[in-house]
A and B are shown apart, each in its own frame.
Chain A
Amino acid sequence: MRKPRRKSRQNAEGRRSPSPYSLKCSPTRETLTYAQAQRIVEVDIDGRLHRISIYDPLKIITEDELTAQDITECNSNKENSEQPQFPGKSKKPSSKGKKKESCSKHGSGTSFHLPQPSFRMVDSGSQPEAPPLPAAYYRYIEKPPEDLDAEVEYDMDEEDLAWLDMVNEKRRVDGHSVVSADTFELLVDRLEKESYLESRSSGAQQSLIDEDAFCCVCLDDECHNSNVILFCDICNLAVHQECYGVPYIPEGQWLCRCCLQSPSRPVDCVLCPNKGGAFKQTSDGHWAHVVCAIWIPEVCFANTVFLEPIEGIDNIPPARWKLTCYICKQKGLGAAIQCHKVNCYTAFHVTCAQRAGLFMKIEPMRETSLNGTIFTVRKTAYCEAHSPPGAATTRRKGDSPGSLSEAGDEEGLKEGCGEEEEKEEVEEEEEDEGQGGVGGPLKGLPKKNKMALKQKIKKEPEEVSRDTPSTVPMVTVPQIPSYRLNKICSGLSFQRKNQFIQRLHNYWLLKRQARNGVPLIRRLHSHLQSQRNAEQREQDEKTSAVKEELKYWQKLRHDLERARLLIELIRKREKLKREQVKIQQAAMELELMPFNVLLRTTLDLLQEKDPAHIFAEPVNLSEVPDYLEFISKPMDFSTMRRKLESHLYRTLEEFEEDFNLIVTNCMKYNAKDTIFHRAAVRLRDLGGAILRHARRQAENIGYDPERGTHLPESPKLEDFYRFSWEDVDNILIPENRAHLSPEVQLKELLEKLDLVSAMRSSGARTRRVRLLRREINALRQKLAQPPPPPQPPSLNKTVSNGELPAEAQGDVTVLEQAPQEEPEDDGDRDDSKLPPPPTLEPTGPAPSLSEQDSPPDPPTLKPINDSKPPSRFLKPRKVEEDELLEKSPLQIGSEPLQRLLSDNGINRVSLMAPDVPAGTPLSGVGRRTSVLFKKAKNGVKLQRSPDRALENGEDHGAVGSPASPASIEDEQHSRKRPRSRSCSESEGERSPRQEEETGVTNGFGKHTESGSDSECSLGLSGGLAFEACSNHMEKNWSACLLKNSISV
């Protein structure tokens, strides 16, 4: 007897059976013989099937005994909980010890009484401990094949029995002993095994073992006693009983319809292009897949129990035939269904969809309407793009190649989609069948077999082997050589053994042939089957397998590509994030300490102007040990940076001061014609522009000096950026500025020039720049017109009277001389006529003057005295210093000069501020440094430079001794304004005794200064060679000052 193979897997508890008809509580059909089954009544109560022996007594139970639990159970039963048809009668199938109580429902007329519990106390009798139960009552241990080989696995069937009877009859007639059934079984078993060995040794390789086989209709591998998976004995097709319409498992072999009815040639499905799978015949003699028939709405089964024949193919509208499956892309082959998403028209063949693992779900629905309960099947299938989320999650492990890539595909496609579902109604017979007690054990099953076709179709690609049609195997029964036959029966001894063996062998051969060569022992069959399959479809399989495999690998490649893409994107993102962090940091820095940022950039720019790194580091004292003797306050860029980073600069002025300190220190210590001096001058010139720019920026941005942050609101933007050509044009017309003093005019013009040259270059700009320059020059010339010689004395006199305005005029005088030089600069330089050296002074300082004097003020036209606030600031201190220094009476006389000088200095300082940091101060300093530098150079302290000997004559003494302490003191005094300090210091140095000489020295100071100034202006005006110029101006300037001093 051949039993259907059954899944050995246990049903997990709580897991729903794949079929709504699972019968859990009753004796299963399999355990019943046919005879038994005939004596069984199947009853469906509360949606559960019960098989009750007709001999079993039925108890009557009142509905009082119906527990609440039962009621809920009743109500919650989802599937086919039809009402029992036998009111008042309840049964208790006691034969199987079932605890199932069935309910009976009475009419509503009877009144209900709650059952009264009755109990009695039992005197304490503790129940004995039950012995621990073993973990498993039964365990199936599969024997190794060797053991199995030794055992007799064959079971006789009726045929065999009949044959054996016949043979024995004959033997008895012949007077031989009877061959027992055991012997028969043993021999057949040996024959089977021998033939198996034979076929195996003939070189076929092992292949697929379908332990995890699944029904190819519902793609589920669930296996219940009531709904087992059947395997076709020929093509090894696996189907659920209910999916294929096999309500009762036949004894012996079972063949699928196509092996049974069309064994010799493969069948093709009329509804789809795919081969292989579970076929059924259509009413017109064609074949079609069961799944196709289930899913295509127009098609149905004539008999819903046996699921055959397939009907309604003709009803399929032509449109359906024309759909193109998006999976196989084959046109005009079969009928396709469409995605159930509302607006999605994607079409696919049912079998293609199955193979592609699309979401396909069939769920039974129950609708209660007036005319009874209607059973509905809801079938939903979605194309890949609309698979509901989570559909891909249930996936078995160890699946065949292809699933991985599919999983990859689906991952990207999960998106929610509406529950738009197509309903197909299947009218079902009202449930009265089960009650009739008509049928045997079959009766329970026939209902709604259609619905039994799986709720859910898992995405599981079919095995490759099933993809190809199962052609009918050739009936080949391996011949067993006679020597082997002899060996087989050597262990046995009965009469006429050989003859019997021959006959048995023949019988066995016939039997095998009758069964299409399928081995009689199931176990061997499965092996053989696969092996045969492998042989048969080798070619076919190879191509398809190779194709599959290649596709699989390509999909994998594709997936990897996508992964790489993803990571590439991530990489880019992270890079951007990194940039973002950097930018954020910069932004934060700007927010927290914008002032510092400004200073830092300024400092960077300044340092750029020092390509030789002369000022980068502090002066190395071991190289110049006497440095500190002359320089009280060394300064360098690195120190500045340090100060900057430690937030010691609160205002731009402090910063500027330090910068000027660098320059002045250098100029003080080094003689004028050394490279250091020149570098300092150069730095001063270039740095001035930078600082000026920084100042402008700072003013425009607006900083809070207390906090180093931005002001809460930005200051009113100055005209600097609100600038129009009209302004410039206006000022270019002399009449418009006629009311202003020439000086202010000059200032205005210079400012405009500054502005205009900062503009983007254009025709308008260059033209105006030229015009401005011309105006400026003209103005300067005009200013220079009044002869300088007469003025200084008078000026000085007024100054000596202590009148401040005079100072202003003194300023003017100094400035007056400027324009004269300008033309010279532009014109012939060698002209040694008399142009006063400081010509350049104004050009440089003038713009700065405008800036410094009136930083926030727009360049409105102002009265003259407005231009001097800085000097006013400085005044008190200077006066102090002056007083301090001028204890000696002689000094009084020199005071005016000093005043003048200091004022000049101050003015110049203030005027030149950023541009030419140290004007006058350098006069004193320059003198000394030149000497000192020589000193240091020659190593002889007091040695004078030969070329200056004459001029510096007396001066030297003053410089040598009294000056330096004073100067240091002074410097300590006035940290704030090094320039003014140094200026006054230089004055201080000039002792009254040397009054006469001061003029000279001053002259020299001036000359150096003017030299530097000229350098500066030159640098500004175009970087002309300053050497010649300075030499040349030296004389003029000194001469001029000499006059001044003399007049004093």
Chain B
Amino acid sequence: MATAMYLEHYLDSIENLPCELQRNFQLMRELDQRTEDKKAEIDILAAEYISTVKTLSPDQRVEHLQKIQSAYSKCKEYSDDKVQLAMQTYEMVDKHIRRLDADLARFEADLKDKMEGSDFESSGGRGLKKGRAQKEKRGSRGRGRRTSEEDTPKKKKHKGGSEFTDTILSVHPSDVLDMPVDPNEPTYCLCHQVSYGEMIGCDNPDCPIEWFHFACVDLTTKPKGKWFCPRCVQERRKKK
């Protein structure tokens, strides 16, 4: 369909994604392997050190320890690389998702325009179930979160439009949002729940939790400027 041309383009663009993911994962795996190798090496070195330390002069000791240290720094390097890689991959997928969301929104809008006026029998739209909204994460580098998709079809319903369109669109949230909660889905926030609704990211890069539900941190709107989670605020106070 002509309307879906951009969606087709999207398909083309996403074609490489699996390959890239695979490549990145492969890379990570390699790095992981190397880290493991290094760790084994370290273990050997450490055992050696402990067994010979009595006979070593301070200089030799330092030298030996230096070796271990350098191995460790290599390990850390690899770990950093891996984290970097993971972030990068995440960004990549996220970019795709955002693009898809935009395209889908366009698609829906197009569809609405098209269907406007024309009467189609609707097979009885399934009720709009409230589900978990996909959170828009990392998108705008921090707290900027779009309102969840859940709202989109709702709004449309209020605005009106042909019944048909609504029927089709109502499939959207229920289908996507009804998806079972992945047991592996990471949990966030002080409440240790999966993400839903609007989330806010702590501006402390080392924050162990990273994301918080608005409600759990007593927020209703996005705060201006930097925001730190309660824990990080405490930490910072302690430091000062």
Contacts and interface: CB of A to CB of B under 8 A. Distances in A.
Interface stretch (B58-66, B213-221, B231-239): B58-66
B89 A570 contact: yes
Interface stretch (B140-148, B169-177, B196-204): B169-177
A582 B35 CA distance: 12
B168 A646 contact: no
A709 B90 contact: no
B162 to A, nearest CB: 11
B229 interface: no
Contacts of A567: 21, 86, 89-90, 93
A592 interface: yes
Nearest to A580: B79
Contact of B97 (A557, A569, A575): A557
A103 to B, nearest CB: 53
B184 A577 contact: no
Nearest to A650: B58
A734 to B, nearest CB: 45
Contact of A570 (B28, B35, B100, B104): B28
A557 B101 CA distance: 8
Contacts of A394: none
A591 B168 CA distance: 65
A769 interface: no
A649 to B, nearest CB: 9
Interface string B17-51: 10001000100100010010001001000100110
A547 B171 contact: yes
A550 B172 contact: yes
Contact of B168 (A547, A563, A581): A547
A543 B182 CA distance: 32
A558 interface: yes
Contacts of A549: 1, 4, 7
A158 B169 CA distance: 56
Interface in B143-179: 164, 168-169, 171-172, 175-176, 179
A463 to B, nearest CB: 15
B186 interface: yes
B50 A592 contact: yes
A568 B90 contact: yes
Interface residues of A, number: 46
Contacts of B82: 574, 577-578
Contact of A646 (B49, B50, B58, B89): B58
B185 interface: yes
B100 A560 contact: yes
A571 B90 contact: yes
B76 A581 contact: yes
B72 A554 contact: no
Nearest to B96: A560
Interface string A514-553: 0000000000000000000000000100010111011101
B61 A574 contact: no
A562 interface: yes
B107 A553 contact: yes
B168 A588 contact: no
Contacts of B90: 564, 567-568, 571
Contacts of B39: 584
Contacts of A570: 25, 28, 86, 89
Contacts of A569: 184, 186
Contacts of A469: none
Given A557-B101, A588-B42, A568 B186 contact: yes
A539 B120 contact: yes
B54 interface: yes
Contact of B186 (A550, A572, A582, A592): A572
Contacts of A322: none
B172 A564 contact: no
A558 B182 CA distance: 12
A429 interface: no
A495 interface: no
Contact of B62 (A556, A564, A647, A707): A647
A564 B58 contact: no
Given A550-B171, A578-B83, A564 B94 contact: yes
Nearest to A539: B120
Interface residues of B, number: 62
Nearest to A556: B100
B116 interface: no
Contacts of A575: 83
A565 interface: yes
A707 B176 CA distance: 63
Contact of A562 (B54, B65, B175, B182): B182
B176 A557 contact: yes
A555 B14 CA distance: 14
A534 B65 CA distance: 77
Contact of B79 (A556, A578, A645, A709): A578
B185 to A, nearest CB: 6
B189 interface: no
Most buried by B among A554, A555, A593, A645: A554
A574 B79 contact: yes
A571 B50 contact: no
B176 A558 contact: yes
Interface string A695-737: 0000000000011110000000000000000000000000000
Contacts of B21: 563, 567
B97 A561 contact: yes
A578 B176 contact: no
B62 A577 contact: no
Given A588-B46, A647-B58, A565 B182 contact: yes
Contacts of B58: 646-648
A577 B79 contact: yes
A561 B100 CA distance: 11
A245 B25 CA distance: 51
B113 interface: no
B111 interface: yes
A165 to B, nearest CB: 51
A708 B186 contact: no
B3 to A, nearest CB: 8
Interface in B92-113: 93-94, 96-97, 100-101, 103-104, 107-108, 111
B175 A551 contact: yes
A571 B182 contact: no
A322 B96 CA distance: 43
A557 B100 contact: yes
Interface string A19-36: 000000000000000000
Interface string A587-614: 0100111000000000000000000000
A950 B87 CA distance: 77
A84 to B, nearest CB: 54
Interface in A453-476: none
A720 B89 CA distance: 54
B59 A646 contact: yes
B80 A578 contact: yes
A877 to B, nearest CB: 26
A593 B72 CA distance: 15
A571 B100 contact: no
A284 to B, nearest CB: 28
B65 A592 contact: yes
Given A551-B175, A565-B182, A574-B82, A581 B100 contact: no
Given A556-B100, A558-B179, A648-B58, A578 B53 contact: no
A585 interface: yes
A551 B7 CA distance: 13
A306 to B, nearest CB: 36
Interface of A: 539, 543, 545-547, 549-551, 553-558, 560-565, 567-572, 574-575, 577-578, 581-582, 584-585, 588, 591-593, 645-648, 706-709
10 contacts: A551-B171, A554-B172, A558-B176, A561-B97, A567-B89, A578-B76, A581-B76, A646-B58, A647-B61, A648-B58
Given A543-B120, A562-B182, A578-B76, 4 more contacts: A550-B107, A550-B168, A570-B28, A581-B72
Name the 4 nearest CB pairs between A and B, nearest first: A578-B79, A571-B86, A647-B58, A707-B53
